[in-house]
Amino acid sequence: MSDLFLGLDCSTQSFTTIIINFESKEIVFTNRVIYDNALPQYNTKNGAYFFKNSVVHSNPLMWVEALELSFENLVDNGLAIEEIKVISGSAQQHGTVYLNKNFKEVLQSFDSKISLKEQLKNVFSRETSPIWMDSSTSKQCEEIRKALGGLKSTIRITGSNTFERFSGPQIRKFYQEDPNAYFKTSIIHLVSSFISSLLLAKNSPIDHGDGAGMNLMNIKSKEWDLKALEATAPNLKEKLPTLCKSYEIIGNISPYFVDRYGFSPETLLVAWSGDNPNSLIGIGLTEKGKVGISLGTSDTYFSYMKDLYFDLKGEGHVFGAPTGDYMGLICYKNGSLAREKIKDKFNLTWEEFSEILNQTPPGNHGKVMLPYFFPEIVPFVLEPKIYRFGFGEDDLEGNVRAIIEAQFLSMRLHSEWINERPKEIYATGGASANREILQVAANIFNKKIRIFKISDSAALGAALRDVKSYYDFLGKEIKWSKIVSRILHIQNCEVIKPSRNYKELYADMLEVYRKCEDFSLKNGQNPEKIRKEFIKKYFKNKKN
């Protein structure tokens, strides 16, 4: 018998499964269900529905089916499902699922002979779920922010400014636009607590990590903030699950999954969390001095924080960390989808894209892009627009390098509020497999970057959380550092080192980028003077 630990991740575009054997120090199984391919009947694009006026939703039944397909894959691959000791999970943050009074009853009466999808068809008070890409709630953000005493007060209460994608503003919009459906809603779950509820067969709590991404939880007390609830919608506390610690064991798996898939009835469940807190653990950020960058559908820059402090400019977030501490984070909508816009515009393969990136000079001859192909979170941009300085939209080499340099210059610029200065950076996400992209990042930050073979850091983080909670439960407490190093093999990871030749160049380019952003978004001074000085200093023989 082995001690196996299952981590799941319900992300924007796919549902990932990871099983680890902690004793043998290995990942024994991985699988990914890509929604658009495996579940085409939902007609999603990149896992979502894109409507007018910046409304972006997804279908919660699609996530349910993906969970079922994932468990069927475990059976089909002959996994020792009965040896799985603990299950936990991760889900895209901020998404909300609205359920009627039937939900509780259906959870308690699951029939293992019938699919979950069939049994859950009539439990939703809202057919689709707003997800993190939705930016349609500016009005509601302003209303909540005002009720909480303004920008700085809101940040000090909830850990973040009110953001369009956050759950609180989304709930308020639903209440305002469809009050009848709101009042028929018995409980509002996050994506994480919704799927956790299916495994538990009763309403699951929301953990402090995911709860912090709602503008509803008090970041200091880690309880629902009554003032924030009142500012959002009436009777909201009655419609929310309880809050819990991220490492809390919430019960045993439902008999439905025991009968249908062969799990042991003794399998324990740990509270699910958001993808960002899980990724913090999944790449080993459990102590000061380490920073992660996740390059996926969205790009994120995140750091472990022992102490609580805020970005009072309102761009960054503070979430609860699975360790019981905190994490600082900034998030960009214009991640992989923005990179793909440039790749597809010029009909490139990723190999061709990387080759061009490798052949163009750092600093890009002073060509700077602000790549807001979609509404952006950091900096705050509601209307998509591409700003180019010193080149045009048909400049192949200029566009390829500009999109990558822009993304990491923005990360460096807007992460200055996080006082935890990195000694090194850990990279994860789909684009972390691209060495040329990571070399640009290493040069811009002037830090070495470690690459993990497993890019599914959120699912892996959930599995590592299983390990910690399980051994704590048995009274055999193991330190986080030992858990992550045993599975991640950090010292054996590939390392990309920065070229010291570009330290000064990128320090100067950061100021050029800052001026371009201030000019485009804040009516600042025209950046042409500093941009031309940059060109003269580093590209003397190039005319721009």
Which of 285, 118, 142 lies closest to 209 in space, CA to CA? 285
- Round to whole Å and give the CA distance between 157 and 144: 12
Other beta carbons less than 10 A from residue 30's beta carbon: 15
Tell me the average pLDDT across 237-265.
98
* Phi, psi for residue 134 in degrees, rounded to 5: -75, 130
> Which domains occur in the chain, in start order?
4-277 (3.30.420.40), 290-446+499-544 (3.30.420.40)
**pLDDT of amino acid 149:** 98
pLDDT higher than 60, residue 463:
yes
pTM of the complete model: 0.86
Q: Are 354 and 432 in contact (CB under 8 A)?
A: no
**pLDDT of amino acid 504:** 97
Q: Are 377 and 163 in contact (CB under 8 A)?
A: yes
- DSSP-assigned letters across all residues of 93-136: TT-EEEE-THHHHHHHT--TTS-HHHHHTT-BSSSSEE-TT---
From 309-313, 403-407, 411-415, 451-455, the region with the lowest mean pLDDT: 451-455
- Cα dihedral sign, 439-441-445-447: negative
**pLDDT of amino acid 421:** 78
pLDDT higher than 80, residue 274:
yes
Pair of tokens at residue 544: 């721009």
**pLDDT of amino acid 289:** 81
Pair of tokens at residue 39: 């579940």
DSSP 275: H
pLDDT, mean over the chain = 94
pLDDT higher than 90, residue 240:
yes
Q: How confident is the model at residue 453 (pLDDT cuts 50, 70, 90)?
A: low
pLDDT higher than 80, residue 449:
yes
* Phi, psi for residue 394 in degrees, rounded to 5: -100, 5
Q: Are 96 and 125 in contact (CB under 8 A)?
A: no
The CA-atom distances, in angstroms, between 181 and each of 50, 177, 273 are: 22, 9, 27
**pLDDT of amino acid 50:** 96
Share of the chain above pLDDT 70, in %: 98
pLDDT higher than 90, residue 345:
yes
Encode 330-365: b = buried (16+ Cβ within 10 Å), e = exposed.
bbbbbbbebbbbbbeeeebeeeebbebbeebebbbb
Please return the burial class of 440, using the count of CB atoms within 10 Å of its CB with bins 0-12, 13-18 and 19+.
buried
- Round to whole Å and give the CA distance between 336 and 342: 10
Q: How confident is the model at residue 182 (pLDDT cuts 50, 70, 90)?
A: very high
**pLDDT of amino acid 377:** 86
pLDDT higher than 60, residue 544:
no
DSSP, collapsed to helix, strand or coil, labels residue 20 as: strand
From 71-75, 112-116, 488-492, 513-517, the region with the lowest mean pLDDT: 488-492
**pLDDT of amino acid 357:** 96
- Cα dihedral sign, 52-410-90-243: negative
pLDDT higher than 90, residue 433:
no
Other beta carbons less than 10 A from residue 540's beta carbon: 7
Which is more confident, 416 or 33? 33
**pLDDT of amino acid 542:** 55
From 46-60, 343-357, 440-454, the region with the lowest mean pLDDT: 440-454
Which of 105, 85, 90, 99 lies closest to 127 in space, CA to CA? 99
Pair of tokens at residue 132: 């993190």
**pLDDT of amino acid 454:** 67
The answer to whether the bond into 40 is cis (omega within 30° of 0) is no
**pLDDT of amino acid 1:** 64
Pair of tokens at residue 103: 């939900």
pLDDT in tens, 384-431: 999 999 999 999 999 999 999 999 999 999 998 887 778 889 988 777
Dihedral of the CA atoms 96, 101, 104, 108 (nearest 10)? -140
**Pairing of the two strands 14-21 and 4-10:** antiparallel
Tell me the average pLDDT across 484-505.
88
